[in-house]
Amino acid sequence: MSDATIPNGLDATAPQSRREFLARPLSLAGIAATALASCGGDGNNMPRNGMMPGPGNTNNTGGTPNAPSAGRTFSYLGPNSASLTASSGMGGGMMGGSNATLTMANGAVVPVWTLNSDGALGFNSDRPVPGPLIELVQGQQAAITLSSMMPHTIHPHGLDVNTANDGVPQTSGFVGNAPMMGGDFGRTQGQRSLGSSFTYRFTAPFAGTYFYHCHVDASLHMEMGMYGAVIVRPASGSANAAWDGGPAFDTEYVWQLHTFDSRWHSQSVTGTGTMRYRPAVFMINGRDGANLLSDSTVAIRAPAGSRVLLRLINMGYMPALVNLGGLQLDVIASDGRPLRAPLSTSTQRVAPGERYDLIVTLPAQTATTARVDYQNIRGTRVMGTATTSITAL
């Protein structure tokens, strides 16, 4: 694979984890607060009131998903506009929306909290968790509106927004009402409510893979499923190039890696019930077990010889080792920034909060098994595995 054109000043370092400190023994609360919240600062120099001139560039109102197209294997909101409604199931429809659940491959039903588009389910419009994928265009204005009754936010992870639009409740407030009768949901005491609806505005940065998540009581709200992927397309708008002048591809997949510890899903706030994390559900895109073999957003199927772009996002708390049945992986970008030159490997480690973009060329007669091994935080033991298929047509 030949070197791609890298804009000056935007190349990433070699794709080793910049969160290798996770190998040290830390409390889970510290890991969640650090790894999932280390997202850059005020790179776009927007006005401090969060407002931005101009209407942005949208094809719809932000609430209606677009069907898969141009090599995509998933539906998406955008470009540049999305409307999300938070539901944490607290108090049913009066306060937090409906009580959503996710049914796992073994029949277990796990309560989840959701960030979904108006009138539709989350990722690929067919599951409550993850949330809908949002597409932006490099250099254009983005507007993501969150509506909520209970305290929640949208934190654009890695997108270099200013403080007013960062979604960290301690510094930029939260969307929703303060808990009634002194309740501690979200641990937002003393923090500012932005009302029942707020629009986060920023300029989309360099083309690449990012994500969003709720930053209220983040370690629990992330575990409950309040997250989704963000793809920034090149300034040209191309859906078949990683960035302008960068590697081209034919088919595109997004793998959102996550685990569940079902004991956490009976909690409404972090505390003694979230002191230990022992996941027993190991997912890609909200699917686990045998369901991964038939899920069109996970199981890779493409013509022989085609170039597949696989976007990896670790939404969870366990490091993940990704192996595509021994196929060569050309790592082209890390955390939304291109590498100076592609790095070829057969296994890619993805730490919590990290993203990697990989190009895979499918050899003829490919029929193999891909696996994601979720490790303990020290990387010394596999906690569980998610497997799916790769087939050349």
52 and 138 both lie in a single domain: yes
Partnered with residue 391 across adjacent β-strands are 301, 367
Q: Are residues 228 and 258 in the same domain?
A: no
Residues 205 and 297 placed together within one structural domain of the fold: no
Residues 173 and 281 in one domain: no
Write the Ramachandran bin of 349: left for phi over 0, alpha for psi from -120 to 50, otherwise beta.
beta
> For residues 80 and 141, what is the distance between their CA atoms, to the nearest angstrom?
7
**Domain co-membership, 160 together with 256:** no
Q: Is 167 helix (H, G, I), strand (E, B) or coil?
A: coil
Assigned domain for 182 exists: yes
CATH of the domain at 267: 2.60.40.420
- In this structure, what is the dihedral angle of CA atoms 29, 30, 33, 34, given to the nearest 10 degrees? -150
Among 233, 261, 284, the domain boundary falls at 233
Q: Are residues 265 and 195 in the same domain?
A: no
Residue 15 lies in a domain: no
Confidence (pTM): 0.86
Considering the domain architecture, whether residues 167 and 220 belong to the same structural domain is answered as yes
Q: Cis omega before residue 205 (within 30°)?
A: no
One pLDDT digit (tens) per residue for the chain, 393 residues: 444 555 545 555 444 433 333 333 344 444 444 455 445 443 333 332 333 333 333 344 567 889 898 899 999 999 999 999 998 865 443 344 457 999 999 999 999 999 998 767 899 999 999 999 999 999 999 999 999 999 999 999 999 999 999 999 999 999 998 765 456 787 888 889 999 999 999 999 999 999 999 999 999 999 999 999 999 999 999 999 999 999 999 999 999 999 999 999 999 899 999 999 999 999 999 999 999 999 999 999 999 999 999 999 999 999 999 999 999 999 999 999 999 999 999 999 999 999 999 999 999 989 999 999 999 989 999 999 999 999 999
Spacing of C-alpha 357 from chain mean position? 13
What is the total count of domains within the chain?
2
Identify whether residues 265 and 178 lie together within a single domain. Answer: no
Residues 146 and 51 grouped into a single domain: yes
In this structure, the answer to whether residues 226 and 316 fall within a common structural domain is no
Report phi then psi at 2, rounded to 5.
-80, 155
Domain housing 199: 39-233
